[in-house]
Amino acid sequence: TLMCRDMSELSEYARVDNTAFRMIKNNTPGPYTFILKATKEVPKRLQNPKRRTIGIRVPDNKIALALLEELGEPMMSTTLILPDRLVAESNPDDIRDELEKQVGLIIHGGFLGEQPTTVIDLSEDETTIIREGSGDLAPFI
């Protein structure tokens, strides 16, 4: 998933028709990841190899938005599920205890909860809910 700071950045990396644009604009920033057709700006190794899609999100987290603003470009994002675990890590203290010697930086942004984003596929004509998460499904049904 690419985290973008706003809609203008999003459209550089994903093809967005008018309907999808309105749907995304009305629900971002927020707890959603949107699956869209990737543009040529997205390296192939970051795309779904068969569908040529990319996950895009505009977060509503102040730390993530500040990092995106400072970088001036999107950054990759993923859910942290450690080997032999079934759920994503969400406690920053536990993450530090487990990984502090293996990564260069951990930002303690507080406890964010265990619920992942809601994933909405807008890459085809029909809207498909891929994963029900913390985002409300009503705007997409």
Query: pLDDT for 26-51, tens place per residue?
Result: 999 999 999 999 999 998 999 998 99
d(CA 105, CA 95) in angstroms, rounded, equals 11
| Contact status, residue 129 vs residue 59, Cβ threshold 8 Å | no
d(CA 120, CA 114) in angstroms, rounded, equals 19
Instruction: Locate the domains of the chain by residue range.
Output: 2-79+116-135, 80-114
Q: For the chain, what is the mean pLDDT?
A: 91
Helix, strand or coil for residue 66?
A: helix
Q: What's residue 90's pLDDT?
A: 83
Q: pTM, whole model, 2 decimals?
A: 0.88
**Amino acid at position 91, single letter:** N
CATH says 2-79+116-135 is which class?
Answer: alpha beta
Query: pLDDT for 54-95, tens place per residue?
Result: 999 999 999 999 999 999 999 998 888 888 888 888 888 989
Q: How far from the centroid of its chain's Cα atoms is residue 59's Cα?
A: 7
| Contact status, residue 36 vs residue 56, Cβ threshold 8 Å | yes
Q: What proportion of the chain, given as a percentage, has pLDDT over 70?
A: 100
Containing 37, the helix (H) or strand (E) segment is: strand 32-38
